[in-house]
Amino acid sequence: MLTAIADVLRSIGGAIATLVTLPFKAVARLFGGAADSSHGRH
């Protein structure tokens, strides 16, 4: 029973982690592209 609860919590944690990191990756990519274009490193 405890292992089943742990598996559910682990899957929920993984889903939350992906949902949280995806926007940060998109924002980092946007800021990275803006910084690259502003610095003229292309």
pLDDT value for 36: 73
| Count of structural domains, the chain | 1
DSSP per-residue letters across 3-41: HHHHHHHHHHHHHHHHHHHHHHHHHHHHHHHHHHHHHT-
Task: Write out the residue range of the structural domain in which residue 37 sits.
Answer: 1-42
CA dihedral 24, 21, 16, 8 (to 10 degrees): 180
pLDDT in tens, 1-42: 899 999 999 999 999 999 999 999 999 999 888 777 766 555
